[in-house]
Amino acid sequence: MGVILELRGLSKRFGQGESVLEDVSLKIGEGEIFGLIGKSGAGKSTLARCVSYLEEPTAGGVVFAGREMGALSRGELYEARRSMGMVFQQFNLLMQRSVIGNVCFPMEISGWKRRAARERALKLLETVGLSDKADAYPSTLSGGQRQRVAIARAIALSPRILLCDEATSALDPETTRGILALLRELNQNMGITILVITHEMLVVESICHRVAILDRSRVVEVGDVREVFDHPKTEAAKALVAGDGQPDRARKLLRAVEAYRDKAGLAGISAEEVLRRAGIPID
C-alpha cells in the first residue's frame, strides 16, 4: 500500500506559546481510514490545518501524494489543497445558497461550466442520499442532512484524501451512525483515503483501520484499532478506553445535555462543551 500522506517530525507553536504539536510523525496509506483521536485541546484541529498548510508547521513537514507541501509554490499549494476534501463539525455551508448551490461551489471556483457542475452535483447528492433536497436551503435541513451536503461538497473535486475534523461531534448517535456508514461507503466505492479526527472512541472503532492517539501535542500510540484499544499501552490510551465504559448515569447525563443542546439552538457545540459552559466540571 502506497503512502498518500506523511507527517515528518511536525511541530507547531503559535508565537511564543507552548508547542501545540511536538514532533508528530505519521504515515497514512492510500485507501486507508485512519483515525486521530485525542481529548479536547490535544492539537487535533491544528494538525488538520497543518496537513493542508493552512497553518505552516514551525518545524518538520508534510508530504502529500509524494510532494513536500512546504516546497510548493502558491499555485501548486492551491492545487494540492483541491486534492484534500474537508468536513467540519459545524458544516460550514453557505446559508444563502441552495443545497445544489453549495455542492457546485468548489467546482464553480475551479472554473467548471455551470451545467457540468450541476450535473456532477446531482450525482453527488444521489451518492449522499439527498437527491430530493437539491433545491432546499441548508436552514431547512437536519444536522445529519447538512453534513451530507458538506460531504458531497468535499468530494466534488475528487480529492485524494478526505479530512474529517469532528464531523459527527454535533450529531446524535443515530445520525452519527448514518454519517459513518456513508464515509465507509465512500472509502469502499471510491477508494478515497479518510483521516477521521475525533475525540470519540466509538467513531474510531466503527470505521477506522488504524488509529493514532494524540495526547498533549504528541502522538503517543499508533497501530491497528483493535490492537490499540484492546491492549492500550500508554496512560492516554487507557484513559480513552476507560472513558468509554463510563457509568450509565454519566451516559444518561450526556444524552440529556445533547437533547437540551439541540433545543437551545446550540447545535455544533459538543455536549462536553455545553457542560463546561454551564460551569459543570467534566474531566
Ligand X SMILES: Nc1ncnc2c1ncn2[C@@H]1O[C@H](COP(=O)(O)OP(=O)(O)O)[C@@H](O)[C@H]1O
Residue 43 touches which of Mg ion, ligand X, none (Cβ within 5-8 Å per kind): ligand X
Under rule CB under 6 A, residue 46 binds ligand X: yes
Under rule CB under 6 A, residue 57 binds ligand X: no
C-alpha 59/C-alpha 200 separation (Å) is 29
Report in angstroms how near the CB of residue 168 gets to Mg ion at its nearest: 13
Report in angstroms how near the CB of residue 23 gets to ligand X at its nearest: 16
Nearest residue (CB) to Mg ion, 12 versus 44: 44
Q: In Å, what is the CA distance from 94 to each residue of 74, 137, 146?
A: 26, 9, 11
C-alpha 171/C-alpha 186 separation (Å) is 19
Q: In Å, what is the CA distance from 6 to each residue of 43, 59, 168?
A: 17, 14, 25
What lies within 8 Å, CB to CB, of 102 at 6+ separation is 93, 94, 138, 149, 150, 153
Q: Which stretch binds Mg ion (CB under 5 A): 41-49, 65-73, 103-111, 202-210?
A: 41-49
What stretch of H or E contains 54? Answer: none
Please give the residues from 42 up to 101 whose contact with Mg ion meets the rule CB under 5 A: 44-45
Residue type, position 163, single letter? L
Residue 234 touches which of ligand X, Mg ion, none (Cβ within 5-8 Å per kind): none
Under rule CB under 6 A, residue 141 binds ligand X: no
Nearest residue (CB) to ligand X, 42 versus 180: 42
Report in angstroms how near the CB of residue 249 gets to ligand X at its nearest: 26
Report in angstroms how near the CB of residue 114 gets to ligand X at its nearest: 36
Report in angstroms how near the CB of residue 169 gets to Mg ion at its nearest: 9
List the x/- string, 6-45, binding to ligand X by CB under 6 A: --------x--x--x-----------------x-xxxxxx
Which residue blocks in 28-169 are alpha helix, DSSP H?
44-51, 74-82, 99-109, 114-127, 143-154
Which residue blocks in 167-230 are alpha helix, DSSP H?
173-190, 201-207, 225-230
Count of chain residues binding ligand X (CB under 6 A): 11
Nearest residue (CB) to ligand X, 24 versus 150: 24
Contact criterion met (CB below 8 Å) for 195 and 161: yes
C-alpha 67/C-alpha 46 separation (Å) is 21
Q: Which stretch binds Mg ion (CB under 5 A): 38-46, 110-118, 168-176, 228-236?
A: 38-46
Nearest residue (CB) to Mg ion, 44 versus 146: 44
Nearest residue (CB) to Mg ion, 21 versus 107: 21
Which residue blocks in 1-96 are alpha helix, DSSP H?
44-51, 74-82
Beta bridge partners of 33: 194
Binding site for ligand X (CB under 6 A): 14, 17, 20, 38, 40-46
Binding site for Mg ion (CB under 5 A): 44-45
